[in-house]
Amino acid sequence: MRVLQLNNFEAIGGGSDRVYQLTTRLLRSKGHQVATLACGDEPFDKDKQSHLLPRNGYIERNPLATLRNIRDFVYRPAAAAMIDEIVETHRPEVAHLHIFYGQLSSSVLQRLRHHRVPCVMTVHEYRMLCPVSTLFTEREGVCEKCAGGQLRHVVLNRCNRGSLAASMLSALECSVRDRRFNYLEHVDHFLMVSHFCRDKHIQYLPAIADKSSVLYNFVAAEPERSDFEQPGADRRYLYCGRLSREKGVSLLCDSFAQRPTETLLLAGDGPLGDELRARYADCPNIRFLGKLGAAELASQIRQAWFTIAPSEWYENNPMAILESFALGTPVLAADIGGIPELVIPGETGLLFAPSDPASLARSLDTASLMPPEERARLSARAVQMIAAHHGPEHHYQLLMAGYAKAIEQHNQGSRA
């Protein structure tokens, strides 16, 4: 099959980018002809058919360049032209979109529909319901005010980084999208990465029920017990991910500041990085590792007693949790979004109430006092979950079924 994979970024900056790369490699390993369209400087695999655009820089010194970038945020002509070129040369039988809004823009949907290419979209977040994609704001936490289409709230609350201009641009993009590039009309099948994600979309967009299925994220290889290391004797805890408000890292660091005999390691960086490093500079048990390479991160995960996912937004199917499970490390996580579909108390880890310091403290107490044999049982169950539901072979079968549904639904729509 000839497949076109589309994603905002070629390089990995978040979990969705990792899924884009993994899916591309999986399809190529199965003999499919894959072309990709993304923004970046160089392809992540040198021998694949790559089409790259420069990143949208948004605000620049040149006012005309800024106006062009604002236009490209809503509709990017260069991405539209690239789709025309790819369709002519690659002739894709299906297009698989990951996160494309903001960089590639809705222009890709318009051109794919023009060329009658069946479209699948992996729904990694909540852009159809929320102009800032997360159903979360700095001011209010979890927020669904725009989910019913009342886009004024994103402007009134300045949800995009506290900026009135950026929030107005987000509202404009969604308004134009809903009027001219409605996803329900342009996408043939939606692959939701959690049942929670699918249910939340159906709550506000009931028509999506007949055009969607659940396809969890996956890890690159089946886990092997012989690949595991014993966790460190100090029972250290590890956070892997973006250092930002919605990820709950402030709550996490506050908790460990009250537990000076226990070690918290944080792998990653983000907008809160400098603030957190300064705030906890006098806490030797809280260590910031920065961004780690794949091998070093895997070693840190293997040595952790638990990894921790303290998210405060509707997290869906976090790659950090899957990768921790695949390496035999159970997870202590917030009971929110799609997380409890992965972290099952007493089976693969422990849950605590989101944004609740007392609940987090109780879960940490439980983890810290856990006998090694109990932790080993959680580790084994976590590996079993990956093998059963999140390995490449299982994912591939469901992915092919999703492509088949998209093609069928596309053909039915063409005949209607």
Q: What is the 3-state secondary structure (H, E, C) of 258-287?
A: CCCCCCEEEECCCCCHHHHHHHCCCCCCEE
User: Residue 396: what pLDDT?
Assistant: 98
Q: Which secondary structure element, helix H or strand E, spans residue 37, and what is its range?
A: strand 33-39
User: Mean pLDDT throughout 30-53?
Assistant: 96
Cite the residue boundaries of each domain of the chain with CATH code 3.40.50.2000: 2-218+392-415, 225-389
End-to-end CA distance of the chain: give it in Å, rounded.
Answer: 25
User: Mean pLDDT throughout 6-28?
Assistant: 96
Q: Is 220 exposed, middle or buried (0-12, 13-18, 19+ CB in 10 A)?
A: middle
Pick the closest to residue 107 from 69, 131, 78 (CA basis): 78
User: Mean pLDDT throughout 147-176?
Assistant: 92
The yes-or-no verdict on residue 369 having pLDDT over 70 is: yes
Residue 229 — pLDDT band, cuts 50, 70, 90? low
User: Residue 226: what pLDDT?
Assistant: 45
The yes-or-no verdict on residue 168 having pLDDT over 50 is: yes
CA dihedral 351, 374, 195, 221 (to 10 degrees): 130
From CA 199, how far away is CA 185, in angstroms rounded?
A: 19
3-state DSSP assignment of residue 119 = strand
Percent of the chain past pLDDT 90, that is, above it, reads 87
Residue 332 — pLDDT band, cuts 50, 70, 90? very high
What's the pLDDT tens digit per position in 342-353?
999 999 999 999
What's the pLDDT tens digit per position in 295-317?
999 999 999 999 999 999 999 99
pLDDT, mean over the chain:
94
The superfamily in CATH containing domain 225-389 is: Glycogen Phosphorylase B; (3.40.50.2000)
Q: What is the pTM of this model?
A: 0.93
From CA 332, how far away is CA 348, in angstroms rounded?
A: 9
The superfamily in CATH containing domain 2-218+392-415 is: Glycogen Phosphorylase B; (3.40.50.2000)
User: Mean pLDDT throughout 258-275?
Assistant: 96
